[in-house]
């Protein structure tokens, strides 16, 4: 069990799953670079993060719900949690008759991603909500900006294990507090921190030296 002081943000998992160096630059060194992708993501999140509740037939909607898990050492917020009226297996809600099954909807800009970053972050939200409410949740959903539609995600054992492993890694790396060296890969092109990270100059033990030597040679060739 973790204490309140040990809780880490669920959002860090997305950065960690994308690249350990990106996670460290943001969460250890405090660097943040807003590019078009992050700016659009923030705008898309502005509405669902407004705390409010709404009732639509047999669905009660809670926005900006605080999440926490002392077992996993995580804290965060769910964009939207829908509570669907069910005949059995749900939980009672205050001042509302019947049983209700929670269903998290996470808002994302752009298209569904190829990697697992979004999935593990959403799975971590579900794990937190399961602990808070003492209930099993089998699925959740993303609402992507392009196209504007919902995609359901099944929370199978493989995804749960992968998420729990990443959460352990998050706590390990946080305890160490060091920034890994850059390793250039295709995903660097869409990384919001590429100008801070400079993977072309910092990846590999000798690459910075190599980069400087190349720059000097190119400068000399330009002059001569």
Among 19, 44, 72, 129, binds ligand SF4 (CB under 6 A): 19
- 182 in contact with ligand SF4 (CB under 6 A): yes
- 29 in contact with ligand SF4 (CB under 6 A): no
- 65 in contact with ligand SF4 (CB under 6 A): no
User: Residues near 104 by Cβ (< 8 Å), separated by ≥ 6?
Assistant: 78, 79, 80, 81, 82, 122, 125, 126, 129, 137, 140, 141
Please, which residue, 152 or 183, has the CB nearer to ligand SF4? 183
Please, which residue, 28 or 70, has the CB nearer to ligand SF4? 28
- 199 in contact with ligand SF4 (CB under 6 A): yes
Kindly state the smallest distance separating residue 15's Cβ from ligand SF4, in Å: 9
- 22 in contact with ligand SF4 (CB under 6 A): yes
- 187 in contact with ligand SF4 (CB under 6 A): yes
Residue linked to tokens 């003492």: 134
> Do residues 16 and 170 lie in contact, with contact meaning Cβ atoms separated by under 8 Å?
yes
Residue linked to tokens 């799975």: 123
Among 17, 67, 188, 207, binds ligand SF4 (CB under 6 A): 188
Find the part of the chain contacting ligand SF4 (CB under 6 A) among 55-63, 64-72, 114-122, 180-188: 180-188
Please, which residue, 167 or 182, has the CB nearer to ligand SF4? 182
- 191 in contact with ligand SF4 (CB under 6 A): yes
- 193 in contact with ligand SF4 (CB under 6 A): yes
Please, which residue, 126 or 194, has the CB nearer to ligand SF4? 194
Kindly state the smallest distance separating residue 25's Cβ from ligand SF4, in Å: 6
- 197 in contact with ligand SF4 (CB under 6 A): yes
**Binding footprint of ligand SF4 on the chain (CB under 6 A):** 19, 21-22, 25, 182-183, 187-188, 191, 193-194, 197, 199
């Amino acid at each position: 069990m973790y204490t309140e002081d040990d809780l880490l943000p669920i959002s860090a998992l997305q950065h960690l799953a994308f690249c350990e160096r990106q996670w460290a630059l943001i969460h250890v060194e405090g660097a943040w670079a807003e590019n078009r992708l992050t700016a659009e993501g923030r705008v898309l999140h502005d509405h669902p993060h407004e705390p409010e509740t709404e009732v639509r037939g047999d669905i009660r909607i809670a926005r900006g719900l605080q999440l926490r898990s002392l077992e996993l050492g995580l804290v965060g917020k769910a964009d939207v949690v829908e509570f669907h009226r069910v005949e059995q297996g749900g939980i009672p809600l205050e001042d509302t008759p019947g049983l209700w099954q929670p269903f998290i909807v996470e808002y994302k800009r752009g298209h569904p991603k190829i990697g697992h970053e979004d999935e593990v972050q959403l799975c971590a939200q579900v794990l937190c909500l399961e602990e808070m409410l003492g209930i099993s949740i089998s699925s959740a959903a993303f609402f992507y900006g392009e196209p504007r539609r919902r995609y359901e995600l099944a929370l199978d054992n493989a995804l749960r294990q992968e998420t729990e492993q990443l959460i352990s890694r998050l706590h390990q790396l946080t305890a160490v507090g060091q920034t890994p060296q850059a390793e250039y890969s295709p995903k660097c092109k869409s990384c919001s921190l590429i100008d801070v990270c400079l993977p072309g100059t910092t990846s590999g033990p000798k690459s910075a030296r190599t980069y400087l030597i190349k720059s000097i040679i190119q400068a000399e060739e330009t002059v001569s």
